[in-house]
Each structure stands twice: as C-alpha cells, then as structure tokens.
Structure 1
C-alpha cells in the first residue's frame, strides 16, 4: 500500500526533530530524527473548576483560549519577515529556526481570526500579512509551478539544506499537502483583506495544482502525489521525470509510488484546490479510498458498504464498524485527517450525506474511545509532540486503515480489532484535536479542554501545551505553530459563526466544488 499520511513537521523548540524525511513511504522514519528533551514532572496543580456552560460564560472561556493561543503564534513570528516558526517552548522562548508553507499559511489565517476577535487591530493585521506576503514574493521557490519547498529559515526566508541543530543534509522537497494549506490561506486572505488582496491573488494564481496530479496510475482519472524534489535526492525510490502535463521548466524527481490514497485525509485540500481551479478533474475526488476494497483479505477489519459510481469513477462506499457505528476511516484514525479541511470547506453543509454524517461520528468515536473504551478520562487524538520526546502520530486505531496503527497511548498498544481495549494505559491527548471537535460537539469539547487545562495543567501563557500523557502527567511543554493555528481556526469558526468557511467558500468555489462532493452517500450509521 502506498498511502502516506504524515505531517512533515520539525517539532522541538530548539532542536530540529523531523518527523519523516520528505516523501518517505509509510512506516519509514528519517535517519535524521533526533529526540527532543523529555519534559519531566507531573501535571501542574489547579483548582477544580466545573466546565463552562453554553452562553456568555462559555464564550468568555473560548475567547481567553483564543487570546492565549494568539500570544504563542505572535511569539513565534519574526517581525522582519512575517514568517512564523515551526515551534517554540511553552515559556515562549526558543524559536525552532525552521518553518514550512503549512506554518506560514496557518499564521496568515490566524492573523485574520485575531483581527476579527479584536486581539489585534485591523491595521496591525494588514501590516503583518503584508510583510508575510512580501517575504513569499522574494523567497526561493519552484518557479514553473509556483510552489514552495518544505523548509525555510523563518529569520530570513532562505531555503534550508541542512537540519537546524544536527546539520544533516536535506534536499528541498515540494510537499503537496504543505502547499494545500498555504494555497487555502492565500485564497482566504484574498477574500478577507482587501488591502492585501492583489498580492495574495498573485501568489495563489501562479500555483499549478496539477503538478501534484498523477494521471499515470491504475485508479483513473488519477491521484495526488506526495510531492517532488527539485534536486537529485540520491535515493533509490526517486525517479527523474518531466513535470506533469507539459508544465515548462525542467525535470524533477518524484517519489515513486508516493500517493495520497484515502478520502479521509488532510491532503484532500490539494484535490479541492485543483478542482476549484480546473486543473484537476472532479473525478479525482472519487479515486481515493473510503476503505480498502472488500475483496482484499489482509486488512484487519472487513468493511461494510456497496459499490457506486460518481464522476465516471467506480467507488466502494465502505465503512468500518466501531462501537455500533459505521464510520469511513482515515489512514491513521486521527482528528486532523478528518476535520482540518473542514475548517475551510463547509463539508457537512455541502455534503450532508457523506461528511455531514462522518464528521460528527468521528468526533463521537474519539470521545467514546477516550472516555469509555480506553478509560483515559480525556479525549482528542491526533499527530502531535510526544510528551516523552520527539513527535508521534496518535489516533484511534479502529478508525484507521494503517495496518500498523496510530494508537492513542504513549507505548503504542499491541491491540487488534475484536479484542477488549486494555485499561491503565498512558493515553496521549492533544488539545488541537479537541478544538477541531468544537464544531460538532461544542459542550463536550469545551468540557474536555477545560479539564485538560485545569486538571492536567497542560496550559500556559501561550495557551494549551501541545500534548499531555494523561496517566503519567508528562506534558509536551511546547507549542507547534500548525497545531496552534488549528486551535485558533476552530475557535474562530465557533465564535464567529463559521468565518473561515465563509471566507473560503466563495460563489466560484461553491459552484466548482459543492456539486462534486455533495453527490455521495457514505455508508455511515450512528
């Protein structure tokens, strides 16, 4: 299976800790990985507080969280370049000295949300965004496609060719999923900031989304690739190929077999942008897997579902069965695979029979896993900092297709479908996962986040710490800019009545996309 769902982040506040070498196949860790220092100690004592109820009191709590989250993003931003660091310590010192297109995009939409919540003035928002866009204009990038490479130094915008701290060499890689978030952010800026509209449009309009679309695969009309190197990476799994579809310029090195294969994936934003611009055919949305096909005998769970056809593509509309629910799984069963694109595209409204069912079911399944099945007392599982050092993918294994699983505990439980889930494990929850759930289970998510703050002490001047192991009380005392921007984006959508979705979903976007995603009915049941 060639599916790769990895968030390409370096995570320690000072050291470079790559999750994977760019384009690494599933399960293959980069040799450049180095663990971050472990954060010792238990949870910070806090007075017991009841969860805030819906209304003015709850809104006040959400606004406090938003203000503190913005404080960490502000501390991560270099004023002279407008570029945000990948991460920073919980004391808001020690920027990581690297950033990515995803991080830059997150900072852009966060500045707009901060403006709307009156955390900064409209003039400050305009100025910050203008500086960021000016840096993007002059930063080295892949000019034939208009796409940016995966790692830059946020202090001056130069391309990184060695990992900060370790000095290990790396070859610039253009990541499709990274570019999806920068492209989405630039599109939002063009709608929400009239003074920077022209600059944002100039950057996003030159982006060629079909550079990430491989038509030469068995699944027609094609699939999204993970990206490409702009220089020879010296790897056996890299192949020198001309840019797809006649884009002039030069040959580039593609990772052979590296495609995004699942529908429940953060990479669907790339497909959305390609469909919106007319550069990727609508049928590409249906070439990704809802589950593995029913005739495959090796997966650990046999799916339920039926075959259908959409946009000329034969689709198995399958689901996994979990705790009496039928849910379309992702690759790892993590919250951000399911819900990050929904920050921008109103998927539940435009596709009520598919995403409108699956999103709330996924949230419910994560909640029931944390509270009932595993008995952690808390919930919200998604890739994040590992409290015990480095970075880890966390999720609910039953909600994922990955044969080796994204697990919800620090050790990585050797659990199999059909077995009783073990108790007493050191579950790892990440606040950004619970924040994404706010749009579907607001009261339950607020209660969960409130208890993570007050009972586990995973909170500081910059908002929620990135993750916490609930049994041992070990906290990842750092902030990652992407995770913080997901928190702020979710808070903004809840407090501002879907503001990010409103900015993104222009009439043109709705005309191009709503009819494509709205025709499917997922095999789901609650």
Structure 2
C-alpha cells in the first residue's frame, strides 16, 4: 500500500498556524445558560415576527440586518488606534475581551468587510476610507519579511508588534510567514486598491512589494523536490533558524539571503490555499502550469486505498502536466473533494474569483454540487434539520474542523457531529468499508458555511440561516454565533473575525452586485487567470 503523502498539511487560514507557531490552543469558548439549554427552551432573538418558527422566503432586508450586526462584531474586535482587528471576541463584544492577537488573514478580512459595509450602506464612504487608511498606515510601519514583502503570522492588534510570546500562555512564538495567510491579505489589498480610491496608493505600495514566488517550489532542486510536476506552494517559511521546528530546510526561491522553508506543500486543488496560487499566476510570478500540480483526488489504485473512497475519473493533460481528474461519488453526485470536506475549502476563494463563470467545466460543476451535498447531508443523511459545515469555534471546547467526511480526502475526516462519526464506505474491491451507513449524533453547524453557500443557493441558505437564528437562538448583537450543536442546543458564544469576514464577503456578492469579485477580478486579472483555470474539466457531475 502506498503510504500517505507527507506533502499535504491542511490549513484553516490563520488559526491552524497555531500548530506551526508552536503556541497553545485558543481560549475556551463561552457558553451561557441559554447555550446549554435545549433549543426549544430558549427565547428566540429579537427578529421580525414573520421570521420566527417556520422556514421563510428570501428576504434581502433580513440578510442586510444580518450583515449589519456582523459588521458590529468586526468593529468591536478592531483597535481604534491601529485599525487592526483581533482574531476573536466573546459574544459580549467587550473591547477588553479581544483576543490580543491577529494575523494577516484577519486584517485582510476586516479590509474587504469595510468595502462591503460601504456597499450595503451600513457605513458611509468616508468612514470606510478612514478605517481602511488607518489599517494600511499601521501595516506600512509593521515589521515584516522585507525581501518578500510578506507579513508574519501573529501580531498584537493593539500595537502592531510581532508576537514573540503568546498572550494567554506566555509560550514562545517563532515568527513564521504563512503562504495562505499572505494570500488573504494580498487578496484584500487587491480589493482595496480597486474599491477604495482614497487608499489605492497605499494598497499599491503594500501589494507591489509582495513576492508570491517566495513560496513557489518549481521542483528543480533534486534535494528538495515537490514530487508533483508543475510545482507546489510551500506552507511557508521561517526567516531564521532561531527557534524553528523540524520539517524545514534552508533555501530561497527569490535569491538573496536564504530562509527556512517548510518541507510540506499545499497539494490539493479544493482548498482555500488556491488563493495564493491565483495571486502568483495573475502577477506573472508563478507559471500557469502550477495550477495543475495539485491533486484533484489521489489515485484510484489499490496502492492508494487509504484515502476516503475510491474515486472515478480519467487523466487529462494541461500545459504539459498530466492531471487525474478524479471525483468521489456521494448521493448520486460526483464531486471533487477537499482535504476535509468543509465549505470554506470549496468556496472561500470563490468570494473573490467568479470561478463557476471562468471555469464552467470544473468549478462551475463542483461548487453547486458541493453545496447540494452539504445540504443533503445535514437535512437527509444525518437528519440534523440544519446544514453548513466548516472549521469554527467548537461549542464543546476551543476550535474544531467541522465538515462532511464524505467530501474530504482525509480518511480521519472533518466530521459533522460532536461524536466525530466517521463515514467509511470502503475502497471498491481494495478495502472493505467499516462504516458505510453511519448514524450521526449531535451535529454542529457553522453559519458562515451557509453564507458562503448563499452565493449558489440563496433561498436554501436563507431558510437554513433563518432557522438557525430563530429556532436555535444562535444569534446575538454581533450576528450569528460561530457554531451551534443542533441536538443539544450548545452554542459557541464567540465571534471569529475570519468567519465574520467570510459572511460579509458572501453577502457583499449576493446583495452588492458582486462587489468583492468586481474589485478583485478586474479585466487584467481575468486576462491572466481565466485562460488557465478555464481550460480544465473536472470529473464532477451527476453519477
């Protein structure tokens, strides 16, 4: 049997970098008496009367209210002097309870959220510009890796200083430059320079110095190959040897002083990390063939029978790279899986790039099928009554990667319930399944996943979210709480800035005429990116 590849290290944007930084887990999720009580015993939040109880029809005014409350949570997390947003805050929204740390992803999320808030009339153009300029002014003075123009993974949001000691535990933090964290800040800067005229010069300066090829391993070093033809993106690098963990080697892809590059690379196509690939390709710093290096699925042979299920598909060649266009079969659909089967792996880059339009035979097939699969899993297969599964605050602990196990390559899964019920259908004739028809327990839904789905199924997503608000009571003055266990009614009474920013981005596209996509996906970006991703044909479709 082929051993599991060591190249892939899954990521949930900045928060999974806790593992790379060697720091402690996030603080305990607050749960109050209402959170612990059964859903039927809780009082619904102050929503319009027509929303209470049964499923409802699409209502833009309600979605706008959700966005306005979400923006309030983002403002509560943001330091008034630096313009930097904290990673998270309890439902109380008290400034003194901010997390004490932030990341490039969080900062980027605040920037594009300000653009959406302006577009939806939540704030004025003047307030948006002031907020964005304050944040960019701080970024311009912050310590960063100067040869690449990239920022480190953790900063103090109140000062802008690089964190070298974790605020809650005192443990050492070793500065690290994350490729995916850098990608989301870069995406936000592209949005700002198109959507905020008064901040364009500052955004241009910040984005213009970013070197995306610093992460790109073309595989031409015989001592440190990527294994995948076309070349892959490193997880990131440490600027020095001091304090770095194992799994790195000294080198550079841009000349100058070497850094300590991770030996792991991002190697699956259905991943939020593809935003970094997009930025490398559209700037011309990374060749188009890189797009075809990542796995769509792992191979179907018995030598690879360790992954979730046996895929079906065929091999096609693009830009000289052979690609196995595999797909998993689930509920009569053939879907290209992610690593864990979460909504944000599938759809977060879609907030910025109109993937289903530019790549109709790949993302145009996969996105709606992934959304449908998540919905059917929650409503039919697992019978939760609600749906939408993505990494989020854990109602029972700190943070956990939720997803639909059947939509992930990882055999150990991102699970959709508290009990971590593992779906195992087997691998054809190669391996017998251990749990092909599981019984699920206390399902945990994450509202930001349903908001991402709103870009593809607006009515279904709206109905789902209205029920989460009114029936489960997972809502507060800052919008939807980060996650809720639907069986026990346990709520993760916390707001994560990244998850709130995903909500703002999706709503901005749905109600704001694709405001985020229009700002990111300019004619120049389309000219560079669309021909590359548009040539591909996934194995996705109806079985």
Structure 1 counterpart SS, 2:541:
coil
User: What CA distance in whole angstroms lies between the structure 1 residues aligned with 2:440 and 2:298?
Assistant: 32
Structure 2 counterpart SS, 1:244:
coil
1:436 maps to 2:452: yes
1:401 maps to 2:409: yes
Shift of the 297–53 alpha-carbon distance from structure 1 to 2, 3 Å rule, reads closer
Q: 1:368 aligns with which of 362, 366, 376?
A: 376
Contact 1:294-1:303 at 8 Å conserved across structures: yes
1:507 maps to 2:523: yes
The within-5 A match list for 1:383-398 is: 383-398=391-406
Shift of the 19–458 alpha-carbon distance from structure 1 to 2, 3 Å rule, reads farther
Shift of the 412–38 alpha-carbon distance from structure 1 to 2, 3 Å rule, reads farther
Structure 1 counterpart SS, 2:317:
strand
Q: Deviation per CA, 1:224-272, whole angstroms, max 9, x where unpaired? A: 11001123254562434232132x2x2211222x111100000000000
1:4 maps to 2:9: yes
2:65 aligned partner: 64
2:385 aligned partner: 377
User: What CA distance in whole angstroms lies between the structure 1 residues aligned with 2:336 and 2:14?
Assistant: 26
1:158 maps to 2:167: no
Shift of the 161–61 alpha-carbon distance from structure 1 to 2, 3 Å rule, reads same
User: What CA distance in whole angstroms lies between the structure 2 residues aligned with 1:519 and 1:427?
Assistant: 38
The within-5 A match list for 1:281-320 is: 281-295=287-301, 296-320=304-328
User: What CA distance in whole angstroms lies between the structure 2 residues aligned with 1:84 and 1:235?
Assistant: 27
1:332 maps to 2:332: no
2:56 aligned partner: 52
User: What CA distance in whole angstroms lies between the structure 1 residues aligned with 2:113 and 2:496?
Assistant: 13
1:239 maps to 2:248: yes
Q: Deviation per CA, 1:322-342, whole angstroms, max 9, x where unpaired? A: 011000000000000000000
Structure 1 counterpart SS, 2:265:
coil
User: What CA distance in whole angstroms lies between the structure 2 residues aligned with 1:178 and 1:9?
Assistant: 6
User: What CA distance in whole angstroms lies between the structure 1 residues aligned with 2:89 and 2:71?
Assistant: 13
2:490 aligned partner: 474
- Return the offset for 1:422: 3.5
**Structure 2: 5+ residue stretches without partners:** 220-225, 426-432
TM-score (norm 2): 0.91
- Return the offset for 1:130: 0.5
- Return the offset for 1:215: 1.4
Shift of the 359–205 alpha-carbon distance from structure 1 to 2, 3 Å rule, reads same
Contact 2:174-2:243 at 8 Å conserved across structures: no
Contact 1:39-1:389 at 8 Å conserved across structures: no
Structure 1 counterpart SS, 2:20:
coil
Contact 1:380-1:433 at 8 Å conserved across structures: yes
2:222 aligned partner: none
Shift of the 468–373 alpha-carbon distance from structure 1 to 2, 3 Å rule, reads same
1:228 maps to 2:227: no
Contact 1:5-1:331 at 8 Å conserved across structures: yes
Contact 1:381-1:428 at 8 Å conserved across structures: yes
Contact 2:13-2:105 at 8 Å conserved across structures: no
Contact 1:373-1:421 at 8 Å conserved across structures: no
Contact 1:8-1:22 at 8 Å conserved across structures: no
User: What CA distance in whole angstroms lies between the structure 2 residues aligned with 1:464 and 1:300?
Assistant: 32
- Return the offset for 1:45: 2.2
1:251 aligned partner: 258
1:455 maps to 2:462: no
Task: Give the total of aligned pairs.
Answer: 507
1:13 aligned partner: none
- Return the offset for 1:221: 2.3
Structure 2 counterpart SS, 1:440:
coil
User: What CA distance in whole angstroms lies between the structure 1 residues aligned with 2:493 and 2:243?
Assistant: 36
Mean Cα displacement is larger for which, 214-223 or 1-10? 1-10
Mean Cα displacement is larger for which, 212-221 or 417-426? 417-426
User: What CA distance in whole angstroms lies between the structure 2 residues aligned with 1:393 and 1:34?
Assistant: 13
TM-score (norm 1): 0.94
Contact 2:86-2:106 at 8 Å conserved across structures: yes
User: What CA distance in whole angstroms lies between the structure 2 residues aligned with 1:146 and 1:158?
Assistant: 16
Q: Deviation per CA, 1:78-108, whole angstroms, max 9, x where unpaired? A: 1111100100111111110100000000000
Q: Which runs of at least 4 in structure 1 moved beyond 6 Å after TM superposition?
A: none
User: What CA distance in whole angstroms lies between the structure 1 residues aligned with 2:26 and 2:271?
Assistant: 27
User: What CA distance in whole angstroms lies between the structure 1 residues aligned with 2:283 and 2:28?
Assistant: 41
User: What CA distance in whole angstroms lies between the structure 2 residues aligned with 1:37 and 1:199?
Assistant: 37
User: What CA distance in whole angstroms lies between the structure 2 residues aligned with 1:474 and 1:421?
Assistant: 26
User: What CA distance in whole angstroms lies between the structure 1 residues aligned with 2:29 and 2:367?
Assistant: 35
1:110 aligned partner: 113
The within-5 A match list for 1:56-205 is: 58-93=59-94, 94-205=97-208
Shift of the 233–444 alpha-carbon distance from structure 1 to 2, 3 Å rule, reads farther
Q: 2:25 aligns with which of 29, 33, 38?
A: 33
- Return the offset for 1:19: 6.5
User: What CA distance in whole angstroms lies between the structure 2 residues aligned with 1:358 and 1:432?
Assistant: 19
